[in-house]
Amino acid sequence: MGLEPSAEPAGDSVDPEATVKLSPSQASISARGQPDLPLPEELTTMLPGGAYKVESFLGQGGMGAVYKGAQVRLKRPVAIKIMRRDLGRDYDFEARFEREAQAMAKLSHPNIVSVIDFGEAGPDYLYIVMELVDGADLMDVIRGGQMTQEMALTLLPQICDALQFAHDHGIVHRDIKPSNIMLTRDGRIKMADFGLAKRLDTESTMHTKTGTGMGTPDYAAPEQFDPNGHIDHRADIYALGVMIYQMITGTLPRGAWKSPSERAAVAPQWDDIVSRAMQSDPADRYQQASEVKTDVTSIPLASTARQDRQPEAKASPRAVSAAPTKTKSRMPLILGLAACAVVASVGALLMTKKPGVNAAAQTSQAPSSAPARENWEDLLREPTQFAFTGGAKRTSDGIRIERGGTARLDIQKLAVRDGALRMHAVFGSKIQLRLREKDNQGQYWLHVSNSNQAILGRRDMLARKDTPLTVFTLPRTLKDGDEYEMELRVVGPCITAKFDGEPMGSVLDELYADGSLSVGTFPDNSRPAIIKSLEFLDLDNTASKARIKSSPQAAPFTNSLGMKFVPVPGTKVLFSIWETRVQDYAAFANDTKREWKDPSVSSRPPATPVTKVDITDARAFAAWLTDRERSEGRIGAQDLYRLPRDHEWSCAMGIGDREDPAKTPAELSQLLPDVYPWGTAWPPPPGAGNYAGEEAAVQLPDGKPFSRSQITGYRDPFATSHAPVGSFAPNALGLHDLGGNVWEWCDDLMATAGQEYVKRGGCYDNSDPDALRSASRRAGFLNSVGFSTGFRLVLESASPGLTKNDIVAPTFPAKGAPFTNSLGMKFVPVPGTKVLFSIWDTRVQDYAAYAAARPGMDDLWKKQEKEGVPVGREADHPVVRMTWEDAQAFCAWLTEKETAEGKLTKGAKYRLPTDAEWSTAVGMPPEQGATPQERHFKNEVDFPWGKDWPPKGKAGNYADESFHKKFPKPDVRDPEKTTNAWIAGYDDGYATTSPVGAFPANTQGLYDMGGNVWQWCEDWFDDSHKHRVLRGGSWNHDARGNLLSSNRAYAPPASRNLNYGFRCVLAQPAD
């Protein structure tokens, strides 16, 4: 406590259980302390052809060592594993090393670490170059007590897939264990370390030599201990069973082990899975890893443990119940901040959770201001705050500590939850800053470990164990006597380290929520520690904490694309910490076959923000991601991704409490003239963001100067392009690039009666102070795109992890916001109307849900056909042969259903669109006439796809060449026709109906506003009130007049036809 030495220097102790892992600090020491391991710069020269640059030492184990490096030509990070030839000669390790490279090179699978290169590094070493896995291994997760049954159910199918793939390619791993299973930042597993792998073929006896190739004893199958034993892929299945047991109970099945459900409160189905996988006789085990996957995936996520038997009292505290308490449900998905290589898992664990439980509160701070404005307290000004012993004393330079002396701080005065400790010191003995320290629990710590590195870590007092959370390379090399400044800052779960005033990086960790502060030293009699200044910053803001308490937040969350979301005080959503990247949008475009507005964007660096997207593209991406992650069980049925509201964006910027949400964005844009994302100063301070600074004065490839306005006195590294997300420090809430890089779409109209949407944040090309103000808004039409416009998502969560008090009464959908209902029907606002339009026609699967809820209803709607050809039967095709009355009944049922379920605000209802609303949605200019009859055929130039006739490309599903091939003869059911007419030369690829969304959406984000099926509208066609209106044309129509946007078909409300379907709209209560 206080300025005192520690018996065990934090961060430098070896975990006795680790077999092939070393902390970053140890790795550096080992690389310098052992002559048989080359330094990074030496290894660079030993690798062939200058192909790789070795950057740092990661770890060692067994006969290998692992370095972090970069492939020079491709500029991608890699892990480089080396082994000395002479150390392995007696045990055939050179052949094993080569076998590892060859085995892994044959396994191209998303869940297996890939090999890039292999060869000789000088006369003494062999090397393998592998992908660098940014994450942690499963042993870290298990030992940290962070493995849950739900996580096991998510990860094990991937592990089984990887193992099955290896076995299918004739390779047995032979060392399956948690430390060889890596977990990436986006929740994927990567199977690593095939150093013991063998080919499974007729030429290999697969016998184990004594003392070699046996794997790790706890996970080895019985036959692996038998010198004459025959080893095949079923040895891996035995090890998999051991690992499953360890994952769900936190312990290994040693001796007369108890079944999983006796050891921990987990689902009873695990008992049979583990027992069968771990049978002594390979013939009695699962014969394929895929069989294990089948049984694992049959366990429902909500499965509960046996209630007639309590888990053993002495069971590991890391065993997690299948139905966790609120405290346990704060389960983090472990993410590594430092890169983890195959043999050395040198990762820091970054807590990331599924949306749900209220995380440790984050402070609601205004945008960060200049350091001079922070109220730092000088701790050295009052000598009475310190107690000195031994060789510690106060000098004119500050505090000098040598020969085992200590200086103790008055920690009661300096109790802290959120705060910072800043020190100016002379480099010598290590000096450690500590925050949130508790005698019986732990602390967060930061120290310079050597002349090139600093370590940020966490200390467990009870276990006397230090866990490095991340390692930083110092921006300059320190020598004895050099002065430096170091800062440790803790705000909510965010822990940040600075060196010489510049941020080195941050981690998220919630283990210790409060405590005191202290400073410790590791004395070296020849290198005294000198602290020249020590300051404390109190960030515990009472008013801010009160606001947070009344505004529950969900937990941080990383989704399937690696997009990271954090809570924002003042909102009920999680914000993506960065803009949507090219790589995120590419996954969407590839999956949906959506065309890029500008194909060149797809070839930009994957970590840069996607641009040239209009708001409908952004909404479609959000809807796709919602559907994908709901189906995968990553988010709940009521959770959804969407664009942020304008006010939510202001809260994320830190100005939400200074704006009136009742005002329009256009009105708010003129306020707060002197507030910027970085503070109140102009020009921006260094590192503020990607704006048009003096770096813009560059030479283009043709030699001509690039001319644009610039911010005088400001410069950033990105002259004429977007920066990779995360290139600049985040704001106080952990969000990057809320100012600069690209303008970001918000899902609000700029003005109440307008048709332009809001964009926020400024971009790399802006230098005008007015554009860069925090309150500045820019307007964009629904279909407008630009090289400087992108978007970020928020996640609106109502997952079970929230308490009842945390969940606000349902008000679905929010006014003007996109909405996905209980059937998966997606609705978007249409400017010029007061309703949300379904983006597609009502599908067969939607109508089937209605029919199932109406016992006794006939099933003729399922059996439609034309001339013996089925029509409208597939689940994702529009339902056909619908009357106007059928459509009304469906809307009434759906309204009643979702109101009762709390998904609709009372008074909201589904209905058919009016004729006028349909005209607006299809994009027609204003029409004249009091009734649909009076507006009928008045516009003779506009079609749903434009003005061209005949249609071109993929205009929609009409009677085309495919229709003609299927129905070449006259329609026998209509003797007046001489043929089934079609549009000659046009082919949309569908003879009858097509899946909804098969053709491009219009500018409103709506599909099939022309073609597929005629759509019923609410209105009577004329004053006779005998016929209702239908719009849009169908798959069975070819005539130009029928396909005009202004055309109205009309029929009695009870009429049925193969061409008739309907589309719903959702009307708000005020409608």
For the cut 60, the answer to whether the pLDDT of residue 289 exceeds it is yes
Residue whose tokens read 């929010």: 814
Which pLDDT does position 978 carry in this prediction? 45
Average pLDDT over residues 246-264: 85
Which one is predicted more confidently, 742 or 556? 742
Would you say 700 and 719 are in contact if contact means Cβ atoms under 8 Å apart? no
Which one is predicted more confidently, 964 or 856? 964
CA of residue 679 relative to chain centroid, distance: 29
Kindly report the backbone phi and psi dihedral angles of residue 261, in degrees, each rounded to the nearest multiple of 5, phi listed first. -75, -15
Confidence of residue 471 (pLDDT cuts 50, 70, 90): low
Average pLDDT over residues 295-321: 47
Q: What is the pLDDT of residues 416-462, one digit of tens each?
A: 567 788 888 888 777 888 877 765 677 888 888 777 778 888 887 77
Confidence of residue 315 (pLDDT cuts 50, 70, 90): very low
Cα–Cα distance measured from residue 148 to residue 357, given in angstroms and rounded to the nearest whole number: 15
Cα–Cα distance measured from residue 139 to residue 143, given in angstroms and rounded to the nearest whole number: 6
Confidence of residue 92 (pLDDT cuts 50, 70, 90): low
Least confident stretch, 373-377, 463-467, 632-636, 1054-1058: 373-377
- Considering the chain, what percentage of its residues have pLDDT values greater than 90? 23
Q: What is the pLDDT of residues 324-342, one digit of tens each?
A: 222 222 222 222 222 232 2
Average pLDDT over residues 955-961: 91
Of these ranges, 207-211, 324-328, 386-390, the one predicted with the greatest mean pLDDT is 386-390
| Other Cβ atoms within 10 Å of 944 Cβ, number | 23
Closest CA to 716 of 750, 765, 675: 765
Provide the H-helix boundaries in 902-984: 915-922, 932-935, 961-966
Reading the block at residue 316, the tokens are 């590991």
Confidence of residue 285 (pLDDT cuts 50, 70, 90): very high
Q: What CA–CA distances, in Å, run from 273 to 294, 757, 831?
A: 10, 54, 56
Which pLDDT does position 472 carry in this prediction? 65
Which pLDDT does position 408 carry in this prediction? 61
Annotated binding-site residue? 81: yes
Which pLDDT does position 402 carry in this prediction? 74
Closest CA to 333 of 139, 183, 156: 183
716-726: b (≥16 Cβ within 10 Å) or e: bebbeebbbbe
Which one is predicted more confidently, 101 or 1039? 1039
The torsion angle over the Cα atoms of residues 1004, 1008, 1013 and 1015, rounded to 10 degrees, is 0
Cα–Cα distance measured from residue 191 to residue 158, given in angstroms and rounded to the nearest whole number: 9
Which pLDDT does position 915 carry in this prediction? 96
Average pLDDT over residues 665-671: 86
Which pLDDT does position 932 carry in this prediction? 95
Which one is predicted more confidently, 614 or 316? 614
Which pLDDT does position 889 carry in this prediction? 93
Reading the block at residue 152, the tokens are 């096991």
For the cut 60, the answer to whether the pLDDT of residue 318 exceeds it is no
**Residue of 175, 271, 509, 646 with catalytic role:** 175
Catalytic-residue membership of 284? no
Would you say 1048 and 933 are in contact if contact means Cβ atoms under 8 Å apart? yes
Cα–Cα distance measured from residue 784 to residue 155, given in angstroms and rounded to the nearest whole number: 41
Confidence of residue 1016 (pLDDT cuts 50, 70, 90): very high
Q: What is the pLDDT of residues 114-134, one digit of tens each?
A: 888 888 888 888 888 988 887
Confidence of residue 369 (pLDDT cuts 50, 70, 90): very low
Q: What CA–CA distances, in Å, run from 527 to 258, 400, 519?
A: 54, 11, 17
Domains assigned to the chain? 24-131 (3.30.200.20), 366-540 (2.60.120.560), 549-796 (3.90.1580.10), 810-1071 (3.90.1580.10)
Cα–Cα distance measured from residue 846 to residue 889, given in angstroms and rounded to the nearest whole number: 13
Provide the H-helix boundaries in 298-437: none
Average pLDDT over residues 604-612: 89
Which pLDDT does position 373 carry in this prediction? 47
Three-class secondary structure of residue 238 per DSSP? helix
Cα–Cα distance measured from residue 409 to residue 397, given in angstroms and rounded to the nearest whole number: 18
Which pLDDT does position 733 carry in this prediction? 83
CA of residue 789 relative to chain centroid, distance: 21
Q: Is the pTM of this model over 0.75?
A: no
Average pLDDT over residues 458-479: 76
Q: What CA–CA distances, in Å, run from 112 to 104, 137, 152, 340, 790?
A: 8, 13, 18, 14, 33
Classify 42 in phi/psi space as left (phi over 0), alpha (psi -120 to 50) or beta.
alpha
Which one is predicted more confidently, 623 or 1013? 1013
Which pLDDT does position 404 carry in this prediction? 62
Cα–Cα distance measured from residue 747 to residue 618, given in angstroms and rounded to the nearest whole number: 10
Which pLDDT does position 970 carry in this prediction? 62
Which one is predicted more confidently, 521 or 147? 147
- Considering the chain, what percentage of its residues have pLDDT values greater than 70? 73
Which pLDDT does position 343 carry in this prediction? 27
Least confident stretch, 146-160, 613-627, 705-719: 705-719
Cα–Cα distance measured from residue 973 to residue 782, given in angstroms and rounded to the nearest whole number: 45
Confidence of residue 1047 (pLDDT cuts 50, 70, 90): very high
Reading the block at residue 273, the tokens are 């899975």
Average pLDDT over residues 541-551: 30
Average pLDDT over residues 1017-1030: 94
Longest dimension (CA), the chain: 112
Would you say 226 and 244 are in contact if contact means Cβ atoms under 8 Å apart? no
Residue 370, classified by CB atoms within 10 Å of its CB into exposed (0-12), middle (13-18) or buried (19+), is exposed
Element (H, E) at 847: helix 844-852
Q: What is the pLDDT of residues 511-538, one digit of tens each?
A: 776 666 666 655 555 577 788 888 888 7
Helices (H) and strands (E) in the chain, counts: 21, 48
Average pLDDT over residues 401-428: 68
Cα–Cα distance measured from residue 488 to residue 495, given in angstroms and rounded to the nearest whole number: 7
Least confident stretch, 490-499, 879-888, 895-904: 490-499
Cα–Cα distance measured from residue 51 to residue 75, given in angstroms and rounded to the nearest whole number: 10
Which pLDDT does position 131 carry in this prediction? 87
For the cut 80, the answer to whether the pLDDT of residue 539 exceeds it is no
Reading the block at residue 248, the tokens are 């769900």
In DSSP notation, 594-611 reads: PPPSSGGGGGS-TTSBP-
Confidence of residue 396 (pLDDT cuts 50, 70, 90): confident
Q: What is the pLDDT of residues 572-601, one digit of tens each?
A: 889 999 999 999 999 898 888 888 888 888
For the cut 60, the answer to whether the pLDDT of residue 367 exceeds it is no
Confidence of residue 1007 (pLDDT cuts 50, 70, 90): very high
Element (H, E) at 457: strand 453-460
Which one is predicted more confidently, 344 or 91? 91
Q: What is the pLDDT of residues 832-856, one digit of tens each?
A: 888 999 999 999 989 988 988 887 7
**Angle, alpha carbons 457-460-463 (nearest 5°):** 135
For the cut 90, the answer to whether the pLDDT of residue 203 exceeds it is no
Confidence of residue 1019 (pLDDT cuts 50, 70, 90): very high
Would you say 452 and 28 are in contact if contact means Cβ atoms under 8 Å apart? yes
Average pLDDT over residues 38-52: 86
Which one is predicted more confidently, 266 or 383? 266
Cα–Cα distance measured from residue 1071 to residue 835, given in angstroms and rounded to the nearest whole number: 8
User: Average pLDDT of the chain?
Assistant: 75
Q: What CA–CA distances, in Å, run from 650 to 255, 568, 788?
A: 59, 10, 20
Which pLDDT does position 247 carry in this prediction? 93
Cα–Cα distance measured from residue 114 to residue 162, given in angstroms and rounded to the nearest whole number: 12
Average pLDDT over residues 869-893: 91
